[in-house]
Chains A and B, each alone.
Chain A
Amino acid sequence: MISNSKRRTWLAGAAAAIALVGAACGGGTTSSSPGSFKGTIRIGYSGALTGQSQLYGHAISQSIRLAADDINAKGGINSYKVETDVLDDGTTVDKAAANTRQLILQDNVKALIGSVNSAQCQAESPLAKQNKVIMLAATCNSYQLTTEPDLINPYWVSIVPNTYMEGTAAGQLAAKTGAKKIFVVSPKYLFGVSETNAFVASLKRAAPGATIVNAPETWFVPYPTNPRWDSTINAIQAAQPDLIYSNIFAADQVNFITQALQVDPQFFKKFPMTTLSSVDDLNTLKDKYPLGMQLYMRAPFFALTNSRMTDFVNRYRAKYSEYPSDWAVMDYDAMQMYAQAANAAKSFDSDKVRDQIVGHSFSSLRGYSFKIRKEDQQANVGETIGTTASSGGKYPFPTLSSPTNLKGDDLIMPTELVSELKAGKCEKNNDPTTTDFALCPSWKKG
């Protein structure tokens, strides 16, 4: 017979084992084709290969490997062969931090590719800063990562449209629909809060008559999320909004859409939705992804057509038998940017490489050049908006009808706001966790 205290011990053991499950590791180091190199350098990536965001992390890991191959085919960086060092964070913050320590201290990487999620990046940034390792964020995108005084990292470079750029663009998009009653659903962590607050601030300015029908406390759902979305779907039915605004993503978006359509095949016709999305999300649901959805996307290959992109898509598909996601496009750009800057610096010293990044322009798969400005080391990269429509058989998933590629210069945060954020003027009671550009004096002035 087993005592109650032993049973408690089992349960404690079970809890510990559950925690271990979440920490399951994967990834590894891969090399590219051999050549006459002086040696080898590593670029590290700790990302979600398992867990809620595995869909995105998987694409990034493939993309940076392809980029390393391409860089090596052109002689590497400073005549050194590039290897990627990929570790799985399981979509968890503590594992992301542990991986980053390992990549820097044990694997001696020369640069890091930022994780998928802002929460992970928030944990990684101080480690990169402390060890003076360049960190290239091409997926995690909360503007606080580059402007909040406690988080600012001189070695952090963002080449993804940040939450200010996305959130304000989404707010203007929603305002144009004329919707008066809007329901908000978002993941409860730095990214979701940052982007949703940006959306709401922008909406208030662009459509003062619009109201958010659910209480602010219910905008955010716990993250990572329970796979059943009944509560949110029912709350939407009860609130009868004109529009749903969402920035839920990956498995959460797939589950939410799937279950909403099971409640009512006309759900998104009754309640149109403006949401962040990506090729990965479209490709997962394929013809089950609803048509008529208003999407904002970071770098959908099908809307950013140019010869370099076409070549990239063809080679990516040949190598991986998949369509490249937005994340794949942006992280490929990140790798190429680092290679160009380190070659120009003729060094791997982070300060020298950074000097070749900040204030400089880089060509992108996206069909334009982007520039890293000095104020927040943010690139003026654009965003694509449009409404989902059938691709007419061209792709196994819907694309956007008449997509609009918004220009980064029109989206990027005004430098006055950046200065105020960096000075800590946009917080409640000097609490850094409340940092919000809508609290900045210049935003309030309008």
Chain B
Amino acid sequence: MSPGQLLLFAVGGLANAAYLFIVTAGLSLVFGALRIINMAHGSLYMIAAFVTVVVANRLGASFGFWTGLLLAVALTGVIGALIEILVLRRIYGQEHLVQLLGTYALSLVAAGAVRILFGASYRTVRPPDIVSGSLNIGGFRYSGYAVFMIASAVVIAIGVYLLLYRTALGRNIRAAVSDPELLNVSGVNVSRLYTTVFVIGAGLAALGGAIVAPSQAVGASMDTDVLVLAFAISVIGGLGSIVGTAVGALIVGEVISFGLNNQYTNQFAIAFVFIIMAAVLTVRPWGLFGRPEQDL
């Protein structure tokens, strides 16, 4: 493989990783603070993708896309708040299986609603003009939109990091992860904090859905398409760790990009992701960048 081809496949892996990171970041954040494995995360991502496509196709790709993105984040944030207030608050203290089934039920409701509202057909939308070009490096073409996705993932990662480590809200979120009981008695409104975290998680899912919409067929099954790899990334990186999510997404993205292209690894490229996940679970069950529960 020439250096040019190496770069080509590395950037391809980055694009895949960016898409996966954007989708998984909210899932990981919610788990870290709320200890909820949110099976409806993919639904929020799907709803946002549909909103973006519908608005962008109505208003025109460029203006419409950005408007759609903002609307998708706002709408999904509202839906997230309602989910947290009306459903999750009632099951925080329950068995984790109840939490799983509760959020799974929400995902089924969302899937049914999307099918009724938007039908079974796929929808597509053009990317906004400013990011629709392509680059030529070393004789190979690179998608401008893929570069935009990579840049978006980096911005989101930095944003979430700053939120967690440079703001009062972030301090409270980290405190909620470490010791929610202590946080409760220290005067912080934990209920409101949890709602805020879930809304942020929903917003990240929405950003993921909105950003991937111009590069994929938007359909009523895209919620489940992404969830399996998102959980694999969370497990590899460490549930609750944003850095871990980024590293996990990078590993998965590059493994798929290089693995599929090689005749000796093609057959196992996707399976290898889950082999890595199983190995991490065996050796370091809290993930590469997560922390054991007893340390929290």
Residues of A within 8 A of B (CB): 1-4, 6-11, 13-15, 17-18, 20-22, 24, 26, 49-52, 54-55, 57-58, 90-91, 215-218, 220-222, 224, 226-228, 230-235, 237-238, 251, 254-255, 258-259, 262-265, 267, 280, 283-286, 288, 322
In the complex, the chain A residue whose C-beta lies closest to that of B284 is A4
Per the bound structure, the CA–CA distance linking A230 and B253 in Å amounts to 10
B277 to chain A, nearest CB (A): 9
If the complex has contacts A17-B100, A217-B266, A234-B12, are A22 and B261 also in contact, measured as CB distance less than 8 A? no
Residues of B within 8 A of A (CB): 5, 8-9, 11-13, 15-16, 19, 35, 37, 39, 42, 96-97, 100-101, 104, 107-108, 111-112, 115, 119-124, 126-127, 132, 134, 140-146, 212, 214-217, 219-229, 231, 235, 239, 256-264, 266-267, 269-270, 281, 285-286, 292-294, 296
Beyond A215-B263, A217-B263, A259-B215, list 15 extra A-B contacts (CB 8 Å): A2-B293, A15-B231, A17-B39, A21-B224, A217-B264, A226-B270, A227-B216, A231-B261, A234-B8, A234-B140, A234-B257, A237-B141, A258-B124, A263-B134, A263-B146
Give the residue of B141, B225, B293, B296 whose beta carbon is less than 8 angstroms from that of A227.
Answer: B225
Contact assessment for B219 and A251 in the assembled complex, using a CB-CB cutoff below 8 Å: yes
Per the bound structure, the CA–CA distance linking A370 and B21 in Å amounts to 52
Give the residue of B123, B126, B221, B270 whose beta carbon is less than 8 angstroms from that of A222.
Answer: B270
Contact assessment for A235 and B100 in the assembled complex, using a CB-CB cutoff below 8 Å: no
A-B contact pairs, 24 of them (CB 8 A): A1-B294, A4-B292, A6-B96, A7-B285, A20-B104, A22-B224, A50-B111, A52-B225, A54-B221, A218-B263, A227-B225, A228-B15, A230-B146, A231-B16, A233-B12, A234-B5, A234-B8, A234-B9, A234-B261, A238-B8, A254-B122, A255-B216, A263-B134, A284-B217
Contact assessment for B257 and A231 in the assembled complex, using a CB-CB cutoff below 8 Å: yes
If the complex has contacts A14-B37, A50-B220, are A263 and B142 also in contact, measured as CB distance less than 8 A? yes
Q: In terms of DSSP, what is the predominant structure of the interface of chain A?
A: helix
CB contacts (< 8 Å) of A251 on chain B: these are: 122, 216-217, 219
CB contacts (< 8 Å) of A255 on chain B: these are: 215-217
In the complex, the chain A residue whose C-beta lies closest to that of B235 is A11
CB contacts (< 8 Å) of B39 on chain A: these are: 14, 17-18, 21
Give the residue of B15, B96, B292 whose beta carbon is less than 8 angstroms from that of A9.
Answer: B96
B68 to chain A, nearest CB (A): 17
B110 to chain A, nearest CB (A): 11
Closest 3 CB pairs of A and B: A230-B12, A58-B120, A215-B263
Per the bound structure, the CA–CA distance linking A335 and B256 in Å amounts to 42
Contact assessment for B132 and A262 in the assembled complex, using a CB-CB cutoff below 8 Å: yes
A290 to chain B, nearest CB (A): 13
A252 to chain B, nearest CB (A): 9
CB contacts (< 8 Å) of B126 on chain A: these are: 288
CB contacts (< 8 Å) of A218 on chain B: these are: 260-263, 266
Per the bound structure, the CA–CA distance linking A212 and B135 in Å amounts to 28
In the complex, the chain B residue whose C-beta lies closest to that of A25 is B108
Contact assessment for A284 and B124 in the assembled complex, using a CB-CB cutoff below 8 Å: yes
If the complex has contacts A4-B285, A55-B219, are A10 and B37 also in contact, measured as CB distance less than 8 A? yes
Per the bound structure, the CA–CA distance linking A227 and B214 in Å amounts to 12
If the complex has contacts A233-B12, A284-B122, are A54 and B219 also in contact, measured as CB distance less than 8 A? yes
Contact assessment for A228 and B19 in the assembled complex, using a CB-CB cutoff below 8 Å: yes
Per the bound structure, the CA–CA distance linking A230 and B134 in Å amounts to 14
CB contacts (< 8 Å) of B262 on chain A: these are: 218
A125 to chain B, nearest CB (A): 25
In the complex, the chain A residue whose C-beta lies closest to that of B19 is A228
Contact assessment for B108 and A262 in the assembled complex, using a CB-CB cutoff below 8 Å: no
B81 to chain A, nearest CB (A): 23
In the complex, the chain A residue whose C-beta lies closest to that of B1 is A238
If the complex has contacts A11-B281, A262-B215, are A1 and B293 also in contact, measured as CB distance less than 8 A? yes
Per the bound structure, the CA–CA distance linking A326 and B137 in Å amounts to 41
Give the residue of A14, A221, A262, A286 whose beta carbon is less than 8 angstroms from that of B231.
Answer: A14
Per the bound structure, the CA–CA distance linking A193 and B115 in Å amounts to 32
If the complex has contacts A17-B39, A18-B231, A263-B134, are A254 and B124 also in contact, measured as CB distance less than 8 A? yes
Contact assessment for B225 and A264 in the assembled complex, using a CB-CB cutoff below 8 Å: no
CB contacts (< 8 Å) of B107 on chain A: these are: 21
Give the residue of A10, A237, A284 whose beta carbon is less than 8 angstroms from that of B8.
Answer: A237
Interface centre among B142, B261, B267 (most CB of A within 10 A): B261
CB contacts (< 8 Å) of A258 on chain B: these are: 124, 214-217
In the complex, the chain B residue whose C-beta lies closest to that of A223 is B270
Per the bound structure, the CA–CA distance linking A13 and B37 in Å amounts to 10
Per the bound structure, the CA–CA distance linking A57 and B42 in Å amounts to 22
Contact assessment for A8 and B285 in the assembled complex, using a CB-CB cutoff below 8 Å: yes
Per the bound structure, the CA–CA distance linking A283 and B258 in Å amounts to 33
Contact assessment for A262 and B121 in the assembled complex, using a CB-CB cutoff below 8 Å: no
B45 to chain A, nearest CB (A): 12
Per the bound structure, the CA–CA distance linking A10 and B37 in Å amounts to 8
CB contacts (< 8 Å) of A280 on chain B: these are: 121
CB contacts (< 8 Å) of B13 on chain A: these are: 230-231
